[in-house]
Chains A and B, each alone.
Chain A
Amino acid sequence: MSTLDTRSGIGNDVPLWKRYVAGHHWRSADEEFDACTLGFWLFLATEVLLFAGLFCAYAMLRYKYPEAFVNGSSYLDWRWGCVNTAVLLLSSYTMAASIRMFQLDRQGTGKLLLAITFVCGLGFLFVKGTFEYMPKLSGWFFFLDPALPHYLEFKNAEALGGMLVHIDGYGGKAPGQFFSYAFSSDPWEPLWWSVYYSATGIHALHVVIGMSLIAWCWVRARKGAYGPTHYTMVENTGLYWHLVDLIWIFLFPLLYLIH
């Protein structure tokens, strides 16, 4: 889509965004921007429909096996969910603010906010992986996990010099075939774990993709690619990131706050 006219070498001291020329088939850069945005919204619609399948599975299985879902949800800690919600909301704000900064040609702040957004995404994945996925799947706890002291009497292994602690029998809350948890209170609990890992796993995949896009934006922003008249890519990356946030806004209460 973007054509950067750099062949002549004339005006190389001018920032990239000022040298940006809209595709020749567009009447104006604004028309190109509108079309790009519309195209991206169509893509977002397909993303919503991807998650619609998961939400539908959630709704139907919870309707059918409510106790399995209440039991399953009780293994999650709403405080981690809350932390991650706040982190994602904050990152959504920094993303929107970053676009605003590029619109105002405040390059430094724009790049800084992009970096903060990226770090927030990293934090989200760290909490999810270290304090939620890892113990539930394998029984291995990170030594700083505040839940660990409750289970220390069942400790049966250590690794990495005590950084990782294995609790006998805690793990195995895995989806589908990989389920091997021995202390379930409901026969249908594997279904809950399948839904939980599908929904949060595909969401986490989107966080990774969003972070990659943000990193790419940051690299291009360092070259001065975005400014008041041209910031299509940051805008669309922002839309993607907000959608990730949007999905989590629904996943959080559905997974963590049911009783």
Chain B
Amino acid sequence: MSNAHAAHASHGFDELDPHGAGKHTKHSHHIVSGVTLLGVLGILLAFTALTVGLAQGEKWVMAYFSIELPRWVNVAVAMSIATVKATLVLMYFMLLRYSNPINTIVFLVCLLAFALFLFFTGLDLSNRGNIDPVKANAIQAGGVGGMKAGWGNTAPVIDKAAVVYWRERKLNEVGPEKYAKMKAAFSHSHAAHDSHGPTGPTGNAAAVRAGLTPGLFDAAAPASHDGHDSHGADSHAAPAKPAATH
């Protein structure tokens, strides 16, 4: 029975104690120093500020130089920083760095399952149009309705996209002028005043839609089953969808 590595309890095999249970000393649990914990908190807060700053910075760069950053930049930057933060939490707050390695293995296997889940779902979704183009073309922007507008038995059933139904209902209620005014106030709510310009977000950084979903509110392309992409990159770059195109 070698107790030379009692603190680590993983070297050598002891027939009488195959799981090494007796090799732990009474106070073998690691106590993380207070300075380490505070330091990790500081780094986590700093990375939070960094990720917000970079997201704002991307918008600023795009506005200042009038360029479009590819959509993956936003995701890649944000997810990289989040991964660093998560690793710090796992290692120092959740003590994976100090605890039994089996815990780390459990967690990593779980992440592997997550990756497989994402991979196969993405594989399916991104190829569905290729497999069944006929079905794909029947897709109507915003859905075909079929749900009730509100609670109770008397609520009408919506026979169109919910977004269209509620828009028309409000238009009838307040009239086009007030509607336009309200939309202008709401569509770039809260913090967006400093980041999206006067007309609200345009989705410029978003990928161009691939074929299936014509722009519902584009003047030239009302919601229909034509199945063509009438919504090219140019109309994305237009300053905004007008507040009330109807």
Please give the residue numbers on chain A whose beta carbons come within 8 Å of chain B beta carbons, in ascending order.
26-28, 30-31, 33-34, 37-38, 41-42, 44-45, 48-49, 52-53, 55-56, 59-60, 63-67, 69-71, 74-79, 82, 85-86, 89-90, 92-93, 95-97, 100, 103-104, 147, 150-151, 153-154, 168-170, 172, 176-177, 179-190, 228-229, 238-239, 242-243, 245-246, 249-250, 252-254, 257-259
Q: Specify which chain A residues have a CB less than 8 angstroms from the CB of B79 in the assembled complex.
A: 250, 253
Q: Specify which chain B residues have a CB less than 8 angstroms from the CB of A250 in the assembled complex.
A: 79, 82, 86
Complex Cα distance A177/B158, Å?
Answer: 10
Decide if A93 touches B189 in the complex (CB within 8 Å): no
Residue in contact with A75 in the complex, picked from B55, B117, B190, CB distance below 8 Å: B190
Residue in contact with B195 in the complex, picked from A53, A96, A259, CB distance below 8 Å: A259
Decide if A74 touches B192 in the complex (CB within 8 Å): yes
Residue in contact with A259 in the complex, picked from B110, B121, B201, CB distance below 8 Å: B201
Decide if B28 touches A30 in the complex (CB within 8 Å): yes
Known: A183-B183, A183-B186, A185-B200. A41 touches B106 (CB 8 A): yes
Q: Specify which chain A residues have a CB less than 8 angstroms from the CB of B37 in the assembled complex.
A: 93, 96-97, 100
Known: A89-B48, A96-B92, A185-B200. 15 other contacts (CB 8 A): A42-B106, A49-B110, A56-B121, A59-B122, A64-B125, A82-B48, A154-B182, A181-B166, A182-B169, A182-B170, A183-B170, A183-B183, A190-B162, A252-B82, A253-B55
Decide if A60 touches B125 in the complex (CB within 8 Å): yes
Number of B residues, CB within 8 Å of A: 97
- Interface membership of B167, Cβ < 8 A: yes
Q: Specify which chain A residues have a CB less than 8 angstroms from the CB of B171 in the assembled complex.
A: 182
Decide if A78 touches B103 in the complex (CB within 8 Å): no
Q: Specify which chain A residues have a CB less than 8 angstroms from the CB of B237 in the assembled complex.
A: none
Chain B, residue nearest A72 (CB): B201
Decide if A77 touches B191 in the complex (CB within 8 Å): yes
Decide if A77 touches B114 in the complex (CB within 8 Å): no
